[in-house]
Structures are given as C-alpha cells and as structure tokens.
Copies of this chain bind each other. A is one copy, B any other.
C-alpha cells in the first residue's frame, strides 16, 4: 500500500509544511470523510464547515486559511491544484495482464513500427505502417489503423478503435470504447437517394489530451479534424468531421459539435452542450449545460439556452404559452398603442 510521510508530500508539491513532517499519509480524502492517515484539502468555501472537525492527519490550505486549522498543514496557493497533483502519487499502476512487451495474442502487421518499450496488450491489432512511440501502453482489444501514429507515453485503455490516418501527439490518454477517425457524416442527396462522400481527411490530436469513454471523433471530409494541445474531453462526446478545437479547451460529457465548427482556446462546453455546424466560437467562451448554440460567438463569456425546470403541471401551462408568445407580444404592443392614444 502506498504511503508517504508528510514532508515528502510537501517536497513534491513545493508547499510549505507546518507541523509534523513525519506523520504517515496513506490516502487522500475529503475533509468530512477523512480518518487518521489521510490528507485533505480546503478548496472551496462550501466545505469550510467540515474543517473544524476533520480527522485528517494533514490539510492543504491557502495561506489565508492557516488560522482556521490547528493541525498539520501544507501551505499552497491553490489547494485544489495541489490535490490534483497529489492524486498522481496515490493512483495505482494501469493494469496489464501481460508482463511487458507485445502480448503473443496481439496481431501486429510486419510493416508497423512499435517502440521496444511499448506495452501492447492481448487481442490488440496494429495495422500496416502504424507507429507506436516509446512507453506507449495499449490495452486489450484496441485496434490501431493503417498509418496511425501514437506519440511517446500515450495510454490507450481497452477496446478503443483508431481508424487509419489518425495522428496522436504525446502523453495522450484515451478511455475505453472510444472511436477516432470513423467517417464523417457526409452524403449528397441525388434525387432522394444518399450518395456517400468518402471521407478523405484524417484526425490530428495534439499533446497532453485526455479523451473519455465511448467518445467519437470523426475524420475530416477533405482536410483534417484537429484537436489542440491540452484539450480535455469527457465521455460520449461527439465531434464531427473537420471540427477544430483550440488548446486547453474542455468538453464535458455528452457535448456534441457538428461539422466544420471551430472552437477557440480555453473554451468550456458543459455537459450536453451542443454546437451546430459551420460556426466559430472565439477564445474563452463557456457554454452552460445542455445549451444549444446556433450561431458564431465573437465575445468571450458565458452563453445559455433552454428554460428552467418546473413541476410538470406548471411547466405545461407555461409551455403552452410559449407557443403563443408572438401573439402575446403583439397584444402588449396593441395595448401600449391604445394607452398612448
């Protein structure tokens, strides 16, 4: 079982230590649930009420909060970031049924290049001309298509499919069930019948990207679909052909982006947010949960659509009135005109 003394954690975080540097820390926990041997943190005022009675052996605090706690403290300007960094110490190794190297059940095309220290799990398939970089780990059942590239230190969990011509940078982590490089949804309508537009572009993903489970990122129709550096993408996100996402943007679960839309840097799509195709979001745009954006946004800020929720009976009464809104507005105008006569 992983354990550290508090002084080691202070050194790792470059945090100032107050109290007993020799206390043993075995786990990270919330202020409320913490027991002896746990380290906790105060990152939000919402949890301040749990600080006085926490049993944690140490707490990470901002300098301004030091007086609020008598026990062992690591002093850090951003305890939430400090917590994030600490989690890397307490996370177990990624599982692997094979002791190392390429599992004998994997099927590797002779023209694929695989770094000597890459780990390739059972039942993996790597197609011709694919390149697997140093220290890459590929979990069971993954498929890497023809000519696709995984840069150094990438990690693919299980049952992931990369089509051909998918280029992925370094330190990219992809979760199970995700499909990258499937055909974009391109069809021309010829007298009522759909004619497939074969998707001739690829997918280019930057460095330090994380992609969740059962997410789909389609290949481009002519040019590429492009995901920038440091982008984070959650589960069941749909990214259509020729979308471009700027560096350090975040897309939460079930967000969906239609074809050719361009998202700037440092944007955030909350859960289920949707963007129609062929629009552009400037840097620094946040879209709230389940909101649907139907036009370009040129000013950083927070954007929303939809209605609030209500008890169904009330909601029905108001929803009926929504269908009369233009009529109601005209009647208000008429009343105003009457008044001024």
Contact = CB atoms under 8 A, between A and B. Distances in A.
Interface stretch (A15-23, A65-73, A185-193): A185-193
Contacts of A218: 213, 235
A157 interface: yes
A276 interface: yes
Contact of A256 (B143, B188, B216, B253): B253
A277 B290 CA distance: 13
A198 interface: yes
A187 B232 CA distance: 9
Contact of A238 (B164, B236, B288): B236
Contacts of A176: 143, 161, 163, 179, 182
Contact of A188 (B81, B301, B317): B81
A332 B326 contact: no
Interface string A268-305: 00011010110000000000111111110000011111
Interface in A92-149: 92, 95-98, 103, 105, 107-109, 121-123, 125-128, 139-141, 143, 145-146
A200 B1 CA distance: 13
A78 B190 contact: yes
A210 interface: yes
Contacts of A263: none
A335 B288 CA distance: 34
A170 interface: no
Contacts of A193: 230, 248
A5 interface: no
Interface string A141-170: 101011000000000011101011000000
A236 B302 CA distance: 27
Contacts of A128: 95, 97
28 contacts: A29-B222, A33-B223, A78-B190, A83-B197, A84-B188, A95-B145, A97-B108, A97-B125, A97-B127, A105-B105, A107-B122, A123-B123, A141-B143, A157-B182, A175-B183, A179-B213, A185-B253, A192-B248, A194-B232, A252-B258, A292-B309, A294-B308, A303-B309, A304-B312, A308-B320, A308-B322, A321-B328, A322-B322
